[in-house]
Amino acid sequence: MRIEATRIGIIYKPKTLVVEYKKSGYSDKRFHKKITFQNYYYENTQTLSDSYPFLASIPSSLLDNMMNKLFSEVQDLNKVPNNDLRHAKEVMNRVFMQNRLTLGDPKYQYDKRINHEPESDSSWD
C-alpha cells in the first residue's frame, strides 16, 4: 500500500504537525494524522520520517521549514522539565562541537581582533 502526503500544516499550541495523506486503494478518501511533540526540540526530519513513513513523500526542505517554524519560538529553559533541559543542552553541545575551531583547523586564527562599529548611538554607555 502506497501512502502519499497531500497537505501539511502546523498548530503552535500544543506543538503539532498535521498531515493530510491518501492511501492507494482508497479512491477519494483522505486521512489526517496529528503528530504532537512533547519535547521542546526535535532531532531531525530524517528520524521523524523514519517514525512516520508517510512523511517520506514530503520534500525534506519543506518538512525542515515547517519544523523550524514550529520550534522557532524561544523556550525559557528555566521552566522546562529536566528531561527536556538535558536534551536541549545535548543539542546545544552538539552544535557547538560542530562549529568550534581548534588549533589544527584551516580557518583557525590565533588572537583574532575585530573592530565593531555600533549600529546606533551608544553615547549613554
pLDDT band, very low/low/confident/very high, at 110 (cuts 50, 70, 90):
confident
What does residue 90 show for φ and ψ, rounded to 5 degrees?
Answer: -65, -40
Peptide linkage before 118 cis (omega within 30 of 0):
no
Helix (H) or strand (E) holding 16: strand 16-23
Q: Could you tell me which residues come within 8 angstroms of residue 67 by beta carbon, excluding any fewer than 6 positions away? A: 17, 42, 45, 48
Each residue's pLDDT tens digit, 42-97: 556 666 777 777 777 777 777 777 777 777 666 677 877 788 788 778 878 888 88
pTM (2 decimals)?
A: 0.46
Distance in angstroms (rounded) separating the CA atoms of residues 86 and 20: 33
Rounded CA separation 24/28 (Å): 10
